[in-house]
């Protein structure tokens, strides 16, 4: 008899927090850089009329587990009262190929995306950075804050969102102010948010949001929103003047923050300094001066997903979380 463990989004959220997500995702990046993982390219199934897509993301780590995530990105869903991103993860045994766990992957995705930003500031941001600019107040915003604030002494967070999301922005600020009373949260303009020590961009934008001059010398940027061809949040002039580190070169060139600038001939693949794995493993220098602007181009890797999925699965077994079905 084969029993399949089922974990809901709420289960995953209770089992795994931001701090441990940063640690396991950092190890996943390190293993990726050392060739200890297997990660075929992400597959996109595009639905242009619906302004969405479905992504298939397989990965294997070590010699025990393999997994695949199926996840959508639909820009119009919030206007329908639906989440923009909904995911499902299946974790398999490498030994038998039998599925071990089926888990909701929306919270998992939010955790691992925030965690990558936490890893990036751990290795690229100036120590002591105390102001955070959040551009976008959607589902990813609290995960970005918690991951970054777990690594840096953030005292003030400036939040920008388009006017259409003003109510959501204000609700986010109120909730986060109550949860983190030592941090001052406030709404601000794009320029105010962009002038923070650390900046996280999490919008579905297809054009630059602010000019390069809005960013102060020495800032670090987690460019998260651009995760498909044609998406763009940053001024190409900002990219050309910064030290850019990506999660994976080919995926970034295809659909990361750098994809538009490269496709328009405004920069070249060779302008990318290298990968976050290289910085973690010491083969690539990170920040080279206090005045340098650093950018982490985060497209989202399947190794991040499986790292958090394994942690959730093992913790669920330890404390009896979830339900099972007979396959």
- State residue 150's pLDDT score: 97
CB neighbours (10 Å) of residue 290?
9
pLDDT surpasses 90 at 73: no
pLDDT surpasses 90 at 284: yes
**pLDDT more than 90, % of the chain:** 92
- State residue 83's pLDDT score: 86
321 Cβ neighbours under 8 A, 6+ residues apart: 7, 11, 14, 15, 315
CA dihedral over 97, 103, 106, 109, signed as positive or negative:
negative
Taking residues 217-224, report their average pLDDT.
98
> Which CATH superfamily does the domain covering 116-300 fall into?
NAD(P)-binding Rossmann-like Domain (3.40.50.720)
pTM over 0.75: yes
Beta strands (DSSP E) in 191-288 are: 198-201, 220-223, 243-246, 274-275
Judged by DSSP in three states, 175 sits in: helix
Tell me the domain boundaries of the chain.
3-108+303-326, 116-300
Rounded CA separation 187/146 (Å): 18
Active centre residues (catalytic): 69
Confidence of residue 267 (pLDDT cuts 50, 70, 90): very high
Find the Cα–Cα–Cα–Cα dihedral 127, 209, 251, 253, rounded to 10°: -100
φ/ψ of 175, rounded to 5, equals -65, -45
- State residue 80's pLDDT score: 92
Average pLDDT, the chain: 96
Taking residues 254-264, report their average pLDDT.
96
Q: Which residues pair with 276 in a beta bridge?
A: none
Confidence of residue 227 (pLDDT cuts 50, 70, 90): confident
- State residue 85's pLDDT score: 85
Confidence of residue 219 (pLDDT cuts 50, 70, 90): very high
Rounded CA separation 273/286 (Å): 9
Q: Provide the token pair at 82.
A: 């639906």
- State residue 215's pLDDT score: 98
How is residue 186 annotated by DSSP? E
Taking residues 271-284, report their average pLDDT.
98
Per-residue model confidence as pLDDT tens digits over 2-55: 789 999 999 999 999 999 999 999 999 999 999 999 999 888 899 999 999 999
- State residue 1's pLDDT score: 60
The CATH code of the domain at 3-108+303-326 is: 3.30.1780.10
Taking residues 308-317, report their average pLDDT.
98
What secondary structure does DSSP assign to 59-112, as a single string? Answer: EEETTTEEEEEEEEEETTGGGGTS-S--EEEEEEETTT--EEEEEE-HHHHHHH
Q: In the block, which residue shows the tokens 């709404």?
A: 187
**pLDDT more than 70, % of the chain:** 100
Closest CA to 295 of 173, 84, 124: 124
């Amino acid at each position: 008899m084969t029993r399949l463990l089922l974990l809901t989004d709420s289960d995953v959220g209770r089992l795994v927090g931001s701090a441990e997500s940063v640690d396991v995702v950092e190890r996943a990046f390190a293993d990726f850089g050392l060739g200890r993982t297997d990660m075929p390219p992400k597959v996109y199934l595009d639905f242009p009329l619906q302004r969405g897509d479905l992504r298939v993301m397989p990965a294997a780590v070590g010699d025990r587990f393999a997994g695949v995530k199926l996840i959508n990105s639909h820009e119009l869903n919030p206007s329908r009262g639906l989440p923009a991103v909904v995911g499902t993860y299946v974790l398999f045994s490498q030994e038998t190929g039998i599925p071990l766990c089926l888990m909701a992957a929306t919270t998992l995705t939010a955790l691992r995306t925030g965690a990558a930003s936490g890893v990036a500031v751990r290795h690229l941001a100036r120590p002591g950075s105390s102001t955070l600019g959040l551009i976008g107040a959607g589902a990813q915003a609290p995960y970005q804050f918690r991951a970054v604030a777990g690594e840096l002494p953030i005292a003030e967070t400036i939040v920008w969102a388009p006017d259409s999301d003003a109510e959501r922005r204000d609700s986010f600020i109120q909730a986060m102010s109550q949860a983190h009373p030592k941090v001052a949260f406030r709404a601000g303009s794009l320029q105010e948010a962009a002038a923070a020590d650390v900046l996280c961009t999490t919008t579905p934008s297809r054009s630059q949001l602010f000019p390069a001059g809005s960013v102060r010398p020495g800032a670090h940027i987690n460019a998260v929103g651009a995760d498909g061809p044609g998406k763009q949040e940053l001024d190409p002039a900002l990219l050309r003047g910064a030290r850019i580190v990506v999660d994976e070169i080919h995926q970034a060139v295809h659909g990361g923050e750098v994809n538009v600038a490269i496709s328009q001939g405004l920069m070249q693949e060779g302008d990318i300094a290298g990968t976050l794995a290289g910085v973690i493993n010491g083969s690539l220098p990170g920040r080279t001066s206090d005045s340098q602007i650093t950018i982490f181009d985060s497209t989202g890797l399947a190794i991040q997903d499986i790292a958090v999925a394994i942690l959730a699965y093992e913790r669920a077994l330890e404390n009896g979380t979830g339900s099972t079905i007979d396959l």
